[in-house]
Amino acid sequence: MTNTGKFFPQSAGSPLADKLRLGAKALAITLLLMPVGLQAAAEDKASFEPVSPTVEQARANILIARQLQFTHFREQKINGELSGDVFDAYLEYLDGQKIYLSAKDVEQFQTLRADLGAALKTGRLEPGFDIYNTVQKRIIERLDFAIDLLNKGVEDLDFDADETLSLDRSKGDWEPDRAALDKLWVKRIKNAVLAQRLNDKNNDDIQDSLIRRYEGQRKRTAQMRSEDAFQAYMNAFTGIWDPHTSYFSPRTSENFNINMSLSLEGIGAVLQSDNEYTKVVRLVPGGPASQQGQLKPADRIVSVKQDDEEKPVNVIGWRLDEVVDLIRGPRESKVTLEVIPASASDETMTRTIAIERDKVKLEEQSASSDVIDLKRGKDDYSVGVIKIPTFYADFKAMQEGDPNYRSTTRDVRSLLEEFKTDGVDGLVIDLRDNGGGALHEANEMVGLFIDEGPTVQIRNSDNEVQVLADQDPLVAYDGPLVVLVNRMSASASEIFAGAIQDYGRGLIVGSQTFGKGTVQAVRPLNHGQLKITQSKFYRVSGGSTQHKGVLPDIEIPARVDKTRIGEDALDHALPWDRIEAVPHNRYFDFSALIDQLRDNHATRFADNSEFQLLQREIDLLKEQREVTSVSLNEDKRRLYQDNMEDRQLAIANARRELRGNEPFESLQEWQDWRDIDTAAPDDREDRLDFVVREGGHIMADMLNLDREMASILPDGNVAAQAQ
């Protein structure tokens, strides 16, 4: 399991605990309290000086190669096939969109393709550095081309031609030569100009903004150093084993160690590189961004502005660690992000979000409760709801012997006692957006709902299996149970949901979970650190939580794009597999009820206005994601944008009217309202969203459909039903 120091002795290896991935597509980090370190770049025509490897880096490379071959969970040798994989991954890391290198450049690199493996085993870093130096030179050439073109003015650019630009070039071919790259970059610049023009900026402001953007990128490229090349090369290498194995440079190691001591001060967001953008992967529960409510998963950051700055700094094309340094800042200071929302129809639709930096407080991550009252004919049902944002524990207070230390299990047990007093008929546990946390808390949480037994299996690279179990025969709640999950439910959440499903202890409702079922350890090197995957989680039924996650018994679609967020969206993710099941009780067999429960759910949702609006949003997002190119014809682009904005506004107003409010007259009015009205809703029915209420309805269906469920009601004997 992840070695996180005395404050985090047991971690389920959640994406939150796995937030420093400096690889091609799994680069993530939580923003912590640090001084702001980057300002807008000024014009700098300095050339990039080729970098060379150091003796310390060569030694670290040899150690990394040995660790990967002999201690990683995935058994994989460094051979000719892997050498080619590293070559491809390295080029993808350096130029994933194929906008800097030409096919001629790549052809010249082919002589190195078969040599990288042998070189990496022996610490010979020159081939990787040669590729890196060439790419940096090509980047500067491209940026010089863009700056020169913009200096001539944007007025003469042709926006009447029927041209298009591909949105994702990663799977396409390299442009054949420099002339073809010039044509591509003219299109890229026209797209950048058009994006700002459609946001009502004038030509002078557009020209100034884009020149500053490209000059900033150029300056940073010219300042690249040996450590940048080594980190890029090593992460292309380690990423071949799995997306959560990565090299931490000495600077990155310092950031990781700060993070794992739970010094979660900043805006509380997990970020990832996404081509030229920095993308939000998830928000830390209880963090400033989560509390503020506007920043969402899959939003892409365009610019960052500090309180004392007049103009924002454009961060398109920046490295992730640079963006992180810019967003970090002192507690109670404010940072303003310009983002492209995940729901935006194209890159022209941005919004500005101001977030006050603060510390993530434990009490804001703690479990909370509510009650849903339902009427079914002559029957009234009271359903308890417990929301668990993360699996937490105050390890410091625990180690100091504080008898009143806070933890997920302790807080949930207390809430269950309150429900017993109130006499609820059933329970809904909401694990949506719960990214995991402390492994032992997930283990103990399962124990609140079963008498005793195994909860999760952990298999290491030597095929040794450790079984964690609940050894307490006491049951805190033995009534009917529904567990809500979604794509952002990960790691410890998946362990809990999987155990509840395997024991037949309750129904899982929602969407497929994240699928993070691996465990990492951080190991020191002579130069930096290596975070390496050493084991996998398996359910008591034998199936892994890796890659597949937990599949719900009753599915409710979600807005999150599963092709962009989730373990199976990451390159080289370890596959799903299974081991032997371990003996465990089966408290209830839902097979006789599940078809009718699904039918009732489908009927209810067919008439549910909230769900119909959600489905419209999902359909619109899917349609947008299927767009592979954008028009560079201004009239066509405006027509497309107007159409998308009208459809978004129609959905927003339909939801507005559903709540008895006046519709918005324009999309801008809606966005302005969202910027101001960010507080959590006070109305109880809004706080208990329709998915939670549907969990209550499914619970009522369970109680109505089969009186056998009475055997696991609060006054029943759960243990007697074990098979």
Q: Does residue 103 or residue 256 have the better pLDDT?
A: 103
Confidence of residue 83 (pLDDT cuts 50, 70, 90): very high
Percent pLDDT > 90 in the chain is: 54
What is the model's pLDDT at position 721? 36
On whether the CB atoms of residues 298 and 280 are closer than 8 A, the answer is yes
Sequence-ordered alpha helix ranges (H) in 350-491: 362-365, 395-399, 408-422, 439-447
pLDDT band at 714, cuts 50/70/90?
A: very low
Q: What is the pLDDT of residue 318?
A: 79
Rounded distance, CA 456 to CA 494, Å? 10
pLDDT over threshold 60, residue 380: yes
Determine the pLDDT at residue 684: 37
pLDDT over 90 (residue 203): yes
Q: Which of 29-33, 136-140, 531-535 is the least confident region?
A: 29-33
- Does residue 523 carry a pLDDT above 60? yes
Give residue 608's pLDDT: 87
In this structure, the strands spanning 529-538 and 518-524 are antiparallel
Helix-strand-coil percent breakdown of the chain, rounded to 5?
Answer: 40, 15, 40
Model confidence at 285, pLDDT cuts 50, 70, 90, reads: confident
Residue predicted with more confidence, 604 or 394:
604
Q: Does residue 392 have a pLDDT over 90?
A: no
> What 3-state DSSP class applies to 612?
helix
- The domain made up of 367-530+538-606+688-721 has a fold known as 2-enoyl-CoA Hydratase; Chain A, domain 1 (3.90.226)
Give the C-alpha separation, 410 to 21, whole Å: 32
Confidence of residue 18 (pLDDT cuts 50, 70, 90): very low
Integer Cα distance of 144 and 210 in angstroms: 12
77 is annotated as an active-site residue? no
Amino acid 350 reads: T
The average pLDDT across 275-292 equals 80
Element (H, E) at 180: helix 178-197
The catalytic position among 411, 478, 502, 701 is 502
Answer yes or no: is pLDDT of 681 > 70.
Answer: no
> Which range is least confidently modeled, 210-219, 262-271, 305-314, 508-517?
262-271
CA distance 306 to 327: 8
User: Are residues 383 and 427 in contact, defined by beta-carbon separation less than 8 angstroms?
Assistant: yes
Q: In the predicted model, is pLDDT for residue 692 greater than 80? A: yes
Q: Is 308 a catalytic site residue?
A: no
Highest mean pLDDT among 277-286, 310-319, 406-415: 406-415
How would you class 148 by CB atoms within 10 Å of its CB: exposed for 0-12, middle for 13-18, buried for 19 or more?
exposed
- 699-704 mean pLDDT: 90
Backbone angles phi, psi at 672, to 5 degrees: -65, -40
The pLDDT value recorded for residue 77 is 93
CATH fold of the domain at 265-359: Pdz3 Domain (2.30.42)
| pLDDT for res 659 | 82
Mean pLDDT computed over every residue of the chain: 84
- The secondary structure of 434-455 as a DSSP string is ---BBHHHHHHHHHTTSSSEEE
Say if residue 90's pLDDT is above 90. yes
Amino acid 223: pLDDT = 85
- The answer to whether 349 touches 641, Cβ cutoff 8 Å, is yes
Confidence class for position 311, pLDDT limits 50, 70, 90: confident
Q: Which one-letter amino acid corresponds to residue 365? A: Q
Q: Give yes or no for a contact between 35 and 329, defined as CB atoms under 8 angstroms apart.
A: yes
The confidence band for 385, taking pLDDT boundaries of 50, 70 and 90, is very high
Phi then psi dihedrals of residue 183, to 5 deg: -65, -40
Q: What is the pLDDT of residue 707?
A: 57
Burial of 699 (0-12, 13-18, 19+ CB in 10 A): buried
Q: Name the region of 5 (left: φ>0; alpha: ψ -120 to 50; beta: rest).
A: left
- Predicted pLDDT of residue 645: 87
Residue 242 is predicted with a pLDDT of 96
646: three-class secondary structure by DSSP: helix
* pLDDT top residue among 398 and 509: 509
3-state class of 300 per DSSP? strand
* pLDDT band at residue 564 under the 50/70/90 scheme: confident
> Would you state the pLDDT for residue 4?
32
How does residue 363 score in pLDDT terms, banded at 50, 70 and 90?
low
Query: Is residue 163 a contact partner of residue 632, using CB atoms and an 8 Å limit?
Result: yes
| pLDDT (average), residues 296-323 | 84
Residue-level pLDDT at 486 = 95
Q: Which of 65, 473, 485 is nearest to 238 (CA)?
A: 65
Closest CA to 488 of 447, 542, 432, 562: 432
Q: Which two tokens stand for residue 610?
A: 């909230």
Q: Looking at 83, 249, 491, 535, which residue is catalytic?
A: 491
pLDDT value of residue 98 = 96
Residues 6 or more apart in contact with residue 632 via CB below 8 angstroms: 159, 161, 163, 164, 165, 187, 190, 191, 194
Q: How confident is the model at residue 592 (pLDDT cuts 50, 70, 90)?
A: confident
* pLDDT value of position 150: 96
2 pLDDT higher than 60? no
pLDDT of 258 strictly over 60: no
Question: Is residue 708 predicted with pLDDT exceeding 50?
Answer: no
Band (pLDDT 50/70/90 cuts) for residue 366 is confident
Other C-beta atoms closer than 10 Å to the C-beta of 540 total 25
Q: pLDDT grade, residue 15 (50/70/90)?
A: very low
Question: Which residue in 190, 359, 387, 516 is the catalytic one?
Answer: 516
For the chain, the residue count is 723
Map tokens 């590293």 to a residue.
86
What is the band of 254 on the pLDDT scale with cuts at 50, 70, 90? low
Q: Can you tell me the distance from the alpha carbon of 662 to that of 660, in angstroms, rounded to the nearest whole number?
A: 7
Q: What is the mean pLDDT of residues 179-194?
A: 96
Average pLDDT over residues 308-327: 82
491 is a catalytic site residue = yes
Q: Identify the pLDDT of residue 19.
A: 35
Q: Is the pLDDT of residue 39 over 90?
A: no
Q: What percent of the chain has pLDDT over 70?
A: 85
Quickly state the pLDDT bin for 109 (edges 50, 70, 90): very high
CB 5 within 8 A of CB 261: yes
Lowest mean pLDDT among 88-97, 305-314, 578-587: 305-314
Which residue type sits at 189? I
